[in-house]
Amino acid sequence: MHGTPEQLIACHECDLLMERVSNHPNEDVICPRCHARIYYTTVNSIERLLALSIAGLILFIPANIFPILSLQVFGQSQSEIIFQSALSLFDGGLVLVALLILLFAIVVPLFQLVILFYISFSLHYHRTGRLLRQAMHGYQHLRGWGMLEIFLLGVLISIIKLKDIADLDIGLGLYSLAALIVVTTLSSVFFNPHQIWHEIDLNRQKARTNE
Amino acid sequence: MSNQLPRFKSARESGYLLCIDCEKLHPLSLEGEHCDRCGARLHSRVPNSMNLSWASLIAAVLLFLPANLLPIMTFKSFGQGEPSTILSGIIHLLDQDMLLIGLIVLIASIVVPVLKIIAMTILLCTVQFRLQTNLRQKTLMFRIVEWIGRWSMLDVFVIGILVALVQLGNIAHIEGNDGATAFAVVVLLTMFSAIVFDTRLIWDNGVTDSPANDDQKDTQ
Ligand SMILES: [Zn+2]
Ligand SMILES: [Zn+2]
């Protein structure tokens, strides 16, 4: 094998060793053996993530304080916010299920937005970012555990299940949730770990030469 | 790109290991040390991947029956009502001509977990018995299964939403049952089985799978 580790790259899915090639933006480097995407370039990744994480953190508030649905039967009405879908199961004794809903629909999405804001803010304004490593690990390990879009589909199915027996109103919380899902989906598209680790390297080198 | 290389060769065979967290390439001698870029512990393959993946898959299979037979929730109106299971909930939707919704719940709650269990069994057997066929298709299958598996949580969310909303005392109320816990654990276990599975193990035995062989096949 020729070349130094800097000129080589391995596929994270099949461990194929290959030589690093330069790629244009919007041009993916694909593993010739297993067809995994090895690396790619995202234009203005940091700026986009900064904007999206701020938008997401703002949208997170109405999505969680306004009712997502309210229901009327025989003059009685009941409305619910996202947190109550976990709380009511907790009261009913299904502690584990309640905990999972709390994690997947509230805690993980919030953590991801906060982490994303920290990473993009530190890199955009060239801050030292002492917790950048932990933040990157956190974000990558939480990938796939934020399930807002599945929660939204669950709300739609609940609406259809109940529409014959009760009158339902869609609340402001549900619209905010839908907007929040657009933001989190876009931010996971623009989150390019390969590129961000490279930015962190550059950021660290700059900090070292300034010292 | 890989034309200069004599044949497909893994990083491990060539004396390198890839940090799975930040994708930096290190010499193989650093096995067990910490990555100098991201601080993660370096392993050329995920330690104990096969044992953990098999164990969670088998646990998921064992819990699959109780998850489908135990009631997941009970709807009560004026003192009447009976518990429903995942399957009876789907049949109820189909009976009421809610075909699309019934199908979505059927796919998310039953088809996806079953397919995921079958797919993980195929992948684990491929590594365990050193099978060398259709490796690319199996990798693709893994990507699909890993992406789609989380959608099985759908019914769990529906239960939470319905229980929170339908709390009108004697007129109508819905409560959750233990089947929901069993079902959520099945989904968690299948997700965990896929997360700890190291896809690179599939390719470690594919020694004959080289571009040179591909070329020969093409000319024949
Ligand atoms: Zn590959
Ligand atoms: Zn690393």
- Distance (Å, whole) CA A119 – CA A139: 10
Q: Evaluate if residue B128 carries a pLDDT over 70.
A: yes
pLDDT value of position A4: 63
Note the pLDDT tens digit of each residue in B61-70. 999 999 999 9
- Distance (Å, whole) CA B152 – CA B110: 8
Please give the distance, rounded to the nearest whole angstrom, from the Cα atom of residue A50 to the centre of ligand 2.
24
pLDDT value of position A5: 65
Q: Evaluate if residue B209 carries a pLDDT over 90.
A: no
Residues of chain A with pLDDT under 50: 1-2
Note the pLDDT tens digit of each residue in B43-65. 999 999 999 999 999 999 999 99
- Distance (Å, whole) CA B84 – CA A200: 52
Helix (H) / strand (E) containing A8: strand A8-10
pLDDT value of position A148: 97
Contacts of A29 in chain B (CB under 8 A): 1
pTM of the model: 0.91
Contacts of A33 in chain B (CB under 8 A): 8, 136, 203, 209
pLDDT value of position A211: 67
Residue of A nearest to B135 (CA): A34
Please give the distance, rounded to the nearest whole angstrom, from the Cα atom of residue A62 to the centre of ligand 2.
37
Identity of the residue in B178, B184, B199 whose CB atom sits nearest the CB atom of A14: B199
Which of A73 and B74 is assigned the larger pLDDT?
B74
Q: Evaluate if residue B187 carries a pLDDT over 90.
A: yes
Do B189 and A185 touch, CB atoms closer than 8 A?
no
- Distance (Å, whole) CA B120 – CA B110: 16
Cβ <8 Å between B200 and A13: yes
pLDDT value of position B173: 87
For the CA of B41, the nearest ligand: 2
Residue B167 pLDDT class (50, 70, 90 cuts): confident
Contacts of A28 in chain B (CB under 8 A): none
pLDDT value of position A27: 83
3-state secondary structure B42-79: CCCCCCCHHHHHHHHHHHHHHHHHHHHHCCCEEEEECC
Q: Evaluate if residue B5 carries a pLDDT over 90.
A: no
- Residue ranges of the alpha helices (H) in chain B? 49-69, 86-95, 99-106, 112-128, 135-148, 154-165, 178-196, 200-204, 211-219
Q: Evaluate if residue B211 carries a pLDDT over 60.
A: no
Do A153 and A174 touch, CB atoms closer than 8 A?
no
Nearest to B163 by CA among A161, A65, A106, A148: A161
Do A132 and A119 touch, CB atoms closer than 8 A?
yes
- CA distances A181 to A64, A82, A141, Å, are 13, 14, 19
Q: Which of residues 129-158 of A touch B (CB under 8 A)?
A: 133, 136-137, 140, 144-145, 147, 150-151, 153-155, 157-158
pLDDT value of position B206: 60
The residue whose two tokens read 């508030």 is: A61
- Provide the shortest C-alpha distance from residue A57 to chain B (in Å): 22
Of A37-41, B76-80, B130-134, least confident by mean pLDDT is B76-80
Please, how many CA atoms are within 13 Å of residue B178, restricted to the half-sphere of its CB?
Answer: 5
Q: Is A30 on the interface with B (CB under 8 A)?
A: no
* Best B35, B77, B161 residue to mutate vs chain A (most A CBs within 10 Å): B161
- Distance (Å, whole) CA B120 – CA A82: 33
